[in-house]
Structure 1
Amino acid sequence: MTTPTPTPAAPAPAATGSTAGAFDAYTSAMEKGDTPLLGYLALYSIFEAPILRTDLERWFRELGLDEKFLPGPIREDDAFARVTGPNGVRATYKLTTSPSGKAAQGEKTIAVTLMIRHVGRTGGKITRHVVREVRDEGSSTLSYDTRMAELAWWRDPTESGQPGVGVLQIHPDESAINALSPSEQVKVRSMLRSIEESYKNQCAYFSSDRLRAIVRNYIESLAAVPVRSTGGVYFVHRTHAAPLEPLRKLVSRFGAGSLLTRVPLPEQEEMKDMVIAALTTKAKEDLQRLAGDIATARREGHSEAKVGALYRRFRALQKATAEHSELLSSSLDDTAAALELAGAQISSLLNG
């Protein structure tokens, strides 16, 4: 198994106005116990863990969660792309020309990186090479051994018809590897083993990114408002909050340290202001993207399907704004005005 890489726990989001004042009011209200609940801040952090799809299916049923949010089966072509892509397996180390391994006066230290580079795609085969990059730290010059091994991924060699299936083959270039020092040979062969093991794990288990996407998609379906631009913190109104408790139990079954925390927010103006500010920021960003896509459609031409997709996005934003305005008992005037403009642009495309 590869070593789990933790996702740092999310810090509490910043409130608008006086943060200290808002949370002082929050503390006071919750201690009294007589303030209606506005909703919850949902904060989650997901760690890597060996979780099968059968695990997720069983947990969803046990916890009464909506199974439409279960991810699709793991695809082996996606696993190959992750293992051999820019964020995949690589190794770095330093060497010297001294037999002792310690650089003496006049001897050079070189930095070596073993990386994977795409070579080509022919028919059902994808080819990548393990490349040895050598950097002379004194003169900052680079040199390459362009093929320490070939990685060949064959799509569905048994013609099973299943989407995304394939076979990985690793072919070491023995002459190139044997030309290296014994210590380097160990490092190259260790990297090749890491590629094979990582690929097997990625084919069998859901990555932390896939697990994170399950939680994110489920929470966003609850008309949630992202409170932090980098994600991981959402406001969920009390009328949509029922699934948060089984979601919390689900996340606790992920990798060690994974958690979803619900922070109750009292129905106070300071809390509303924080949520409305986050909602307005999100709506503004969504509308800017929509306006940009409408402008592109006007400039480059548009099909009926493209206009339909733009219209559905507009209607979803319109519906979300109306719902949040009603739930928060607040008029979102700036967002409503921007929606009117987007609506006029969409109408122009439809009429055209």
Structure 2
Amino acid sequence: MESILKDVAAVKADHENVIGHLTWHSLSEMLITPNELKDKLIASGLGEGWMPNEIRLPDAFRRATSDKFKREVAPGVYENYMYREVASTHDFVQRNLVCETKDTKGRRLNYHSDAGSVVLDRKTGKVDTGYVTAIAQQLVSSAAQRFDIYRQHYGATTLRTLFSNVLKSMSPTPVRPSGGIYFIPKQFESQLQSLAGFVTSLEKGEAEKIPLIDTKDMKSMITRKLSEHLQSTLEACEAGVISQLRKGDLKVILDEAKRVVEDYKHYESIVTGDLRDMESKCQLIRQKVAAALKNMAD
């Protein structure tokens, strides 16, 4: 990857000889209110149509009660605190604070299923807490405070999903196996600029984009990476069917596969060499998706 970036930086780009951009972004943990997020989306040019779903109280509540806590209570003996959901109705959600005592060898010495409790009233949005020890009081009180924050703020996970959704609309091709760096065809340059502007406007966001020049080496690289992407997509479809995933999980894979094949048309002016293998992969993916969707309907 470093050699690719070095080659790219060595050539002066102008708008006419650019085939697309390499791009990547990162985001540290942060919070943002819905109004702040909407304003930044509009200011960047992406628009409020990319706004995530409204924050649901039960989701904020579960997020607030997802932390774990560990402390040593004696030499080689530890208490592990975590939340377990014990009830969820139309009226309330209850999560209990569980305390599990173990030694360094992993042997369970004690288990307390209700060291504390946190209960969300779905109608009023209020949270009640209960506890039996001082440490449990601290933990459930902290969870209640986090809920008050999370009910009014999106977190980094939601923002990363937003980034991913915008990126997927620009026919991205991953250029390294671990992901994180993508090639975006030239026709999406304006939208990519808006995404980069949006990410960098966030308190903990960073984004970069580097133009790729219309050279034989660059086109060959993109052709190779696109072929690898199609192959991995085909393998994901096959693995999903063989593993007999739940319909919801399989549908996510199939929808992604359909998007990848549809995106291929944006690369026809970029890819080089004999395209029969790549077109064959596209056709195989279409067949796998159609067969899987038919089986899901039966």
Q: Does residue 264 in structure 1 map to residue 211 in structure 2?
A: yes
Q: Is the 8 A contact 2:130 2:137 kept in 1?
A: no
What aligned pairs does 1:1-352 form with structure 2 within 5 A after superposition? 14=1, 20=3, 22-30=4-12, 36-84=17-65, 88-96=66-74, 108-137=75-104, 140-155=107-122, 157=123, 166-172=125-131, 176-177=132-133, 185=134, 187-256=135-204, 258-291=205-238, 316-329=259-272, 331-344=274-287, 346=290
Query: How many Å separate the matches in 1 of 2:213 and 2:5?
Result: 10
Deviates more, 1:52-61 or 1:118-127: 118-127
Structure 2 residue runs of 5 or longer lacking an equivalent are none
Max Rg structure: 1
Identity %: 20
Secondary structure of 2:207's partner? strand
Structure 1 residue runs of 5 or longer lacking an equivalent are 1-13, 97-107, 159-165, 178-184
Q: Is the 8 A contact 2:44 2:198 kept in 1?
A: yes
Query: How many Å separate the matches in 2 of 1:196 and 1:314?
Result: 41
Query: How many Å separate the matches in 2 of 1:320 and 1:139?
Result: 50
Query: How many Å separate the matches in 2 of 1:45 and 1:125?
Result: 37
What is the one-letter code of the residue matched to 2:234?
L
What is the one-letter code of the residue matched to 1:199?
F
Encode CA deviations 1:119-163: one digit per residue, 9 max, x unaligned: 2334533322111111233784431122111122233x25xxxxx
Pair 1:139–1:253, CA change in 2 (3 A):
closer
Query: How many Å separate the matches in 2 of 1:90 and 1:315?
Result: 39
Pair 1:213–1:151, CA change in 2 (3 A):
same
Query: How many Å separate the matches in 2 of 1:231 and 1:24?
Result: 19
Instruction: Count matched residues.
Output: 290
Encode CA deviations 1:288-338: one digit per residue, 9 max, x unaligned: 3445667799xx9x9xxx99x96x877644432232123445554323113
Kindly state the Cα deviation for residue 282 of structure 1 after the two structures are TM-superposed.
2.1
Q: Is the 8 A contact 1:135 1:142 kept in 2?
A: yes
Query: How many Å separate the matches in 1 of 2:136 and 2:287?
Result: 61
Q: Is the 8 A contact 2:80 2:101 kept in 1?
A: yes
Kindly state the Cα deviation for residue 230 of structure 1 after the two structures are TM-superposed.
4.2
Query: How many Å separate the matches in 2 of 1:137 and 1:292?
Result: 39
Pair 1:229–1:127, CA change in 2 (3 A):
farther
Q: Is the 8 A contact 1:37 1:238 kept in 2?
A: yes
Secondary structure of 2:144's partner? helix
What is the one-letter code of the residue matched to 2:115?
M
Query: How many Å separate the matches in 1 of 2:243 and 2:121?
Result: 38
Pair 1:201–1:34, CA change in 2 (3 A):
closer
Kindly state the Cα deviation for residue 45 of structure 1 after the two structures are TM-superposed.
0.3
Pair 1:69–1:138, CA change in 2 (3 A):
closer
What is the one-letter code of the residue matched to 1:270?
D
Q: Is the 8 A contact 2:78 2:103 kept in 1?
A: yes
Instruction: Tell me the TM-score normalised to structure 2 length.
Output: 0.81
Q: Is the 8 A contact 1:291 1:342 kept in 2?
A: no
Q: Is the 8 A contact 2:97 2:136 kept in 1?
A: no
Encode CA deviations 1:41-94: one digit per residue, 9 max, x unaligned: 11100122231111122222223223321212111111122233xxx2121111
